[in-house]
Structure 1
């Protein structure tokens, strides 16, 4: 301690800065406790059509469950075709393929095509309904410039032409041509449809009235198609919102861009004036949010007045009766994880589906038993209440930022921990030790000034690696002491106490590293997952690579070590290791270890095909229902008990098994830091998760030690009996 007083002082100051940073983050997270649930109008309309009750009945029922809004998409040609069978829409080339098109449509159509021409990318609209025509034409005239469309005929048979181009075209991608011998021929594609069918035309008054009659409010969803976006469209949209009194608390942007893009200033000013937050819709793999042009820029313009949104994707809708559940429990679990673990405060809710396609409705069958929805909402509300959460208008996080001064102080602590780690790995003279320390202290603030958003990630990665590695230094230090300096004659219960104590201390060191990650990356962009920490898998792997070097520093490599040995890797150790004769069994064991490691790393995240078994998922769900946060299985069932077993082997002076146990144990220590690398998860939840894993890990570790003790006694007894049998 006296030799490293400067380093220890730096660490203490750094931890104080970390505490202040985390307290600010925890305060922001604690005030973000209200979850909004909004219904999808089109899906509930389809579900009501399959039930015996009208849509108004369903909406009234959900209003009683705490729902306030129904998300209503702006009308477009596609939605109008669904609603009205008097509307005909053709691509330009499809119109010309109709043999009688000159006789079918008004003479104005023939005249225009003969003189102006028609493109295969154009969209031709025809209807005999004046109501439909008026809605379409008024929508086009009020929103778009005249060069985008052409009114062809305005009496009797109404026709309109939308002028498209190749960027608007939509093609089928699974169409193949082959000859009689099965040889493929290059197909000549024609546009199957057009993006122009989705351009906004205004909101349907009938749908608005249905929602209002049910006691719910409309959450308007205008559509952004960049190539057709105009200031006129913006003004018309705002006019609709004002006229129908449907200002949304959050904008759920539809299309590939935010409303008004690329003119962000107009929509930003409107949202600030009306206290409307930006909606960040989480992707289907539950990582970051759907890319929409201008969304990040808009969010920053709003000073991060934004809400993370969870959309109930089709694959989640179909999880009714999943994992041996009778009803919507797994859907409920998905929603619960979203709001408690991923800062989701807005759920775009869609009705449940059973995994059975219905040809009559040309869609999956919806669950139309209201009690199933009622039970799920009641359970969901009760579960989130344990975290202090309620249903209502979604809360928004304060735009927290970490000052460079605090980042620097925290960075200095990481540098200090790194120098401390090096002193146990290699022999460092004072001048080299403090020289490296000085270099690190100077580089940290320089990095935060020059590239702050890169430097914070690098420092977080550094913390996620160095503290778990430092924790394994402590593990090896204790094992060295048990093997070379202490008596073996401790009773079993004392061995268990030592093992549990050392597990707690080792994990506490790794926990500090995890808190450094959570502290340095406390910027609001990480909490909203506009930016993410990409070093998770690397931070899991590197401590596993470093651990053998730490063990070698303490125990050498095929050399005698006395109890006065100071930890360091010698040149002789490296030379012996490099020129070691590799046995086939070592190669096989290494291959097995690497395979297990690959599976462990590949299973992390939602973008992998390697998923846990159904049994494991059911077990996880049980833990999740019983505890405030589900502990990580690999930690409490494998890695933490392995560390206790490693201490047990060290007490028995079995060095090789101590090393193997440590190789498994380091996975758990890296996992602790990794837990806090999921920045969208509140700090308190990550802490509780780790503490649960630690408590369960101690219990499981004691069980493993008891099993080993019984097995060793049985083996020794068997050996004695065999020896006696031979002597007789």
Structure 2
């Protein structure tokens, strides 16, 4: 009965999985953005800054960088872009050859020309007027300027609206504009309305939050201000970009995302520190490898992690080896459009270049009906796992679990979905491997005439049962917030350990057809056994294996440079990289164990290693920001390659076994 309820629940879940597939394939435009402020920083150390900026803008356009990110302006940025000259009181006195006032520490500004003054003076006047800082006219040698009654260091970093001259210039050159907007200024609805209206006139479709708080996030009236900010974003059709791998979520971002109907795209940031690795003194071959690594990284981000906006940063670096200042711009162009460049490869897999667009969230009327079957099917899968240990209490666990899940859903729908998804993800691979072990213990395996056929069949059967957990995880967590990583699937670390522990306990104490009295006696015998040095060595090896296994798990997992090279080879050869622990370790050993189980019952312990591969199948789909079709291809490659390597292990076993019987055993019997 549990088995059939699980199957019905799975079938009812498939439409929800399909709507997720529709959602994550609804937007395929990828936008490459460069930080315009970084371009100014690099230009500032050149002989002819303005000419350098114009040349590099053309180079970027040719390389496929179609957008520029601009920030809220500062006097420091105006100075860097040669719009103004800026002096403190002492420098101004020296410039004008007058005696300065020793008690004065003001900021003196000179505009580059009258046109620049017309554009920037109202901006500066308003900014410092809002700060209640005195501003008065000043001029020197027929150039107009201002005196700002604030120290130069302080005045240089005060935020104001983005430079309108830069915005118009970039628009005229055909660049899309992405604005980096901070929460450093007081939030006023009318002023933000005017600012966003201005952005809209320049074709801005998306803003990137600059800092830890979204505009409108305040200590008081936060919800009211965020709702007003969201209304303004909706009014002008402007969305957000969610920066991946942030240490902490930006405060208020989830609220803005929800209120804008998830008009959000995922952004991958290639930082200044990343760019510096391309400016180090390297041989041509080494630099080419790093450029290829950048290309691979960008392709992987777009293809495997639903990234739709790539943000490139750079800065000038002093190179003592070359005796000059260098930058990574030429390497960026090579990574994008050179040999095996990122952009042609991204286009080859079905993406196009253009303004990043948010996913169109697909829904289905089946959702409400499916929830009921998801509840029953998921609970049945969990109880099915428990029944391997306490079959007499199956009905009790089902009733108690049903009441508990209903209560949890009433308390928190999100906690219910994540909790049930995690429990089914743990249960499915556990049940799958325990059924394989039961097949051996009960003698079913021994009835097969072909160990090879049994090994391959057992891998297929076990993997299909594990895939039940995949369908439940995808259906329960099909909300777009998981694809955008605005919500994370919590407790995935338990998925990497609990199935191993559950199957291990079952194999040692519950897989034999014993009474509870005999099982308790076996446990007591194990606990009272004398510990030998061999046991200690085995335990040490086991702990080291567990530590290594955990060190390889998750986003923070460590890998050697040789392994990274191997991963890159697989990715570039197959298009989608299968998981190493699946096709090189778990699946092959599982096939070998199943093959040997037909003749040797103790080979069942090799099947236990297969649980790592089975939980990995489910864990692949726990990466909810990865498109479904990519995950499906990944596990397919893992199973096929794992089966092939398993056949190689079987052949090696047969060669060794027959060699032993033919040559070694006769010698030992003498």
Q: What TM-score, normalized to structure 1?
A: 0.79
Relative distance call for 1:513 and 1:603 in structure 2 (3 A) is: same
- Distance across 1 between alignment mates of 2:312 and 2:518: 58
**Is the 8 Å Cα contact of residues 34 and 393 (structure 1) preserved in structure 2?**
yes
Relative distance call for 1:234 and 1:570 in structure 2 (3 A) is: same
Deviation at 1:73, TM superposition (A): 2.1
Pairing 1:631–2:578 present:
yes
- Distance across 1 between alignment mates of 2:662 and 2:340: 58
Q: Select 1:671's aligned residue among 616, 624, 628.
A: 616
**Equivalent residue, structure 2, for 1:475:** 436
- Distance across 1 between alignment mates of 2:375 and 2:197: 51
Q: Select 2:55's aligned residue among 44, 54, 57.
A: 57
Q: Secondary structure at the match of 2:11?
A: helix
**Equivalent residue, structure 2, for 1:237:** 195
**Is the 8 Å Cα contact of residues 303 and 399 (structure 1) preserved in structure 2?**
no
Q: Select 1:423's aligned residue among 387, 406, 412.
A: 387
- Distance across 2 between alignment mates of 1:61 and 1:645: 56
- Distance across 1 between alignment mates of 2:323 and 2:170: 27
Deviation at 1:136, TM superposition (A): 6.6
- Distance across 2 between alignment mates of 1:614 and 1:397: 35
**Is the 8 Å Cα contact of residues 38 and 346 (structure 1) preserved in structure 2?**
yes
- Distance across 1 between alignment mates of 2:559 and 2:544: 16
**Is the 8 Å Cα contact of residues 40 and 81 (structure 2) preserved in structure 1?**
no
**Equivalent residue, structure 2, for 1:392:** 354
Deviation at 1:343, TM superposition (A): 1.3
**Equivalent residue, structure 2, for 1:495:** 451
1:165-214 CA distance string (max 9 Å, x none): xxxxxxxxxxxxxxxxxxxxxxxxxxxx76x7443323334433542453
Deviation at 1:63, TM superposition (A): 3.0
**Equivalent residue, structure 2, for 1:525:** 481
- Distance across 2 between alignment mates of 1:627 and 1:295: 37
Relative distance call for 1:569 and 1:292 in structure 2 (3 A) is: farther
Deviation at 1:377, TM superposition (A): 8.9
Q: Select 2:604's aligned residue among 658, 666, 673.
A: 658
State which drifts further: 416-425 or 523-532: 416-425
- Distance across 2 between alignment mates of 1:497 and 1:348: 51
Aligned residues, how many?
646
Deviation at 1:424, TM superposition (A): 2.4
Q: Select 1:160's aligned residue among 139, 143, 148.
A: 148
**Is the 8 Å Cα contact of residues 342 and 681 (structure 1) preserved in structure 2?**
yes
**Equivalent residue, structure 1, for 2:221:** none
Pairing 1:36–2:24 present:
no
- Report matched runs for 1:72-221 at 5 Å: 72-84=70-82, 86-88=85-87, 110=103, 124-129=106-111, 138-143=122-127, 146-151=130-135, 154=138, 158-162=146-150, 197-221=156-180
- Distance across 1 between alignment mates of 2:306 and 2:167: 30
Relative distance call for 1:481 and 1:219 in structure 2 (3 A) is: same
**Equivalent residue, structure 1, for 2:292:** 329
Relative distance call for 1:568 and 1:61 in structure 2 (3 A) is: farther
Q: Secondary structure at the match of 1:311?
A: strand
Relative distance call for 1:427 and 1:222 in structure 2 (3 A) is: closer
State which drifts further: 525-534 or 580-589: 580-589
**Equivalent residue, structure 2, for 1:174:** none
CA RMSD of aligned residues (A): 3.7
Relative distance call for 1:281 and 1:422 in structure 2 (3 A) is: closer
**Is the 8 Å Cα contact of residues 88 and 107 (structure 2) preserved in structure 1?**
yes
- Distance across 2 between alignment mates of 1:652 and 1:225: 72
- Distance across 2 between alignment mates of 1:253 and 1:568: 63
Relative distance call for 1:697 and 1:105 in structure 2 (3 A) is: farther
Relative distance call for 1:275 and 1:209 in structure 2 (3 A) is: closer
Q: Secondary structure at the match of 2:32?
A: strand
- Distance across 2 between alignment mates of 1:295 and 1:234: 17
- Distance across 2 between alignment mates of 1:424 and 1:645: 25
**Equivalent residue, structure 1, for 2:470:** 514
- Distance across 2 between alignment mates of 1:265 and 1:358: 54
Relative distance call for 1:30 and 1:334 in structure 2 (3 A) is: same
Deviation at 1:696, TM superposition (A): 0.4
Relative distance call for 1:105 and 1:368 in structure 2 (3 A) is: farther
Relative distance call for 1:350 and 1:412 in structure 2 (3 A) is: same
Q: Secondary structure at the match of 2:69?
A: strand
Q: Select 1:439's aligned residue among 397, 400, 411.
A: 400
Q: Select 1:550's aligned residue among 495, 506, 510.
A: 506
- Distance across 2 between alignment mates of 1:241 and 1:383: 32
Q: Select 2:497's aligned residue among 538, 541, 544.
A: 541
**Equivalent residue, structure 2, for 1:71:** 69
- Distance across 1 between alignment mates of 2:518 and 2:362: 44
- Distance across 2 between alignment mates of 1:315 and 1:519: 39
Q: Select 1:585's aligned residue among 534, 555, 559.
A: 534
Pairing 1:414–2:385 present:
no
**Is the 8 Å Cα contact of residues 136 and 201 (structure 1) preserved in structure 2?**
no
Deviation at 1:349, TM superposition (A): 2.8
Q: Secondary structure at the match of 1:548?
A: helix
- Distance across 2 between alignment mates of 1:568 and 1:347: 62
**Equivalent residue, structure 2, for 1:723:** 668
Deviation at 1:651, TM superposition (A): 2.4
- Distance across 1 between alignment mates of 2:630 and 2:458: 24
1:333-381 CA distance string (max 9 Å, x none): 111111112111111234699995789766x532437862553497433
State which drifts further: 576-585 or 496-505: 576-585
State which drifts further: 522-531 or 509-518: 509-518
Q: Select 2:271's aligned residue among 299, 313, 335.
A: 313
Relative distance call for 1:311 and 1:374 in structure 2 (3 A) is: closer
Q: Secondary structure at the match of 1:255?
A: coil
- Distance across 2 between alignment mates of 1:702 and 1:567: 39
- Distance across 2 between alignment mates of 1:706 and 1:148: 84
Q: Secondary structure at the match of 1:251?
A: strand
Q: Secondary structure at the match of 2:242?
A: strand
Q: Select 1:282's aligned residue among 237, 244, 252.
A: 244
1:615-653 CA distance string (max 9 Å, x none): 111111111112232100011000111111221332231
**Equivalent residue, structure 2, for 1:682:** 627
1:472-495 CA distance string (max 9 Å, x none): 11220222245x87258x5xxx32
- Distance across 2 between alignment mates of 1:636 and 1:376: 33
Deviation at 1:272, TM superposition (A): 1.2
Q: Which runs of 5+ in 1 are unaligned?
A: 114-122, 165-192
Deviation at 1:240, TM superposition (A): 3.9
**Equivalent residue, structure 2, for 1:465:** 426
Deviation at 1:45, TM superposition (A): 4.5
State which drifts further: 539-548 or 436-445: 436-445
Q: Secondary structure at the match of 1:720?
A: helix
Deviation at 1:714, TM superposition (A): 2.5
